[in-house]
Homo-oligomer: A and B are copies of this chain.
Amino acid sequence: MSSNPTHGARARARIEVTAAIKDEARRQLAAEGAAKLSLRAVARELGMVSSAVYRYFPSRDDLLTALIIDAYNSLGEAAEATHDAVAEAGPVQRWESVCAAVRTWALTHPHEYALIYGSPVPGYSAPQTTVEAAGRVGFLLIAIVRDAHQGLGVAKPRLTAELRPEAVRMAADLAPDLPPEVVATLVAAWAQLFGLVGFEVFGQFNRIVEDREPFFRHAVAELAHTVGLVYPQQGRAAKARQGTRSTGKGSSSGS
């Protein structure tokens, strides 16, 4: 038994060294990018020989996979923390907060963002371990829309009826309690959010968008409309009402 013991000096050392390798690798990732990350350099910096690292990560790709999972979890935690801070606010504010958290994290950790949302290896299919970590932001967005939907604060998304969105099949276990067209619109908004963030992080807005932050807020607010978090009739009055009734949380009170 105990094929994977957590006690014993050797086991302790293993998880420590593993963490040290990942830390140094993350340092090099942030400094130079994933392309320049080298097992030999990590080993050199840690004072060990390169072949020793292979006792912990059987290949460079395995190291990268570990960093990918960590990055997904880091992003997920940042988003969840921000969401928890405004958990009592209205769905629109929660939506905008989570989106802003994703953007902030991405701008703060551009190389890690590139690692998880940039170009993967061609045939690379994410291992199952990655999937749940990758879904944390998505689950957050689903939860916001679900809450709004079960409460009274949601409008069905404006539909392009000719597309028969009931033909848009999504994974059945994504959100079984939500109408499929809502899920489809939500998943699209999810992808579009990362389109906005990715374009900014990767410099695609360089000579195009001057004031990135208000632009992002504008686009995110429109996304909130699209997923049905705001009734078309709702203007600034409704938004202000949502902001104030948050028990003092989002008391930015606006200009």
Please list the residues of chain A having a beta carbon within 8 angstroms of any beta carbon in chain B. Answer: 32-35, 110-111, 114-115, 117-122, 124-126, 131, 134, 138, 157-158, 160-165, 167-171, 174, 184-185, 187-188, 191-196, 198-199, 202-211, 214-215, 217-219, 221-222, 224-226, 232, 235-236, 239-240, 254
Contact = CB atoms under 8 A, between A and B. Distances in A.
A218 B165 contact: yes
B208 A170 contact: yes
B163 A221 contact: yes
Copies of this chain assembled into the complex: 2
Contacts of A221: 160, 162-163
A170 to B, nearest CB: 6
Closest 9 CB pairs of A and B: A195-B195, A118-B119, A114-B119, A192-B192, A160-B221, A188-B219, A169-B210, A191-B199, A162-B236
Contacts of A204: 117, 134, 191
6 contacts: A114-B119, A117-B198, A158-B225, A171-B207, A191-B219, A192-B196
A168 B168 CA distance: 34
A198 B196 contact: no
Contact of A225 (B117, B160, B195, B254): B160
B195 A232 contact: no
A148 to B, nearest CB: 17
A210 B180 CA distance: 12
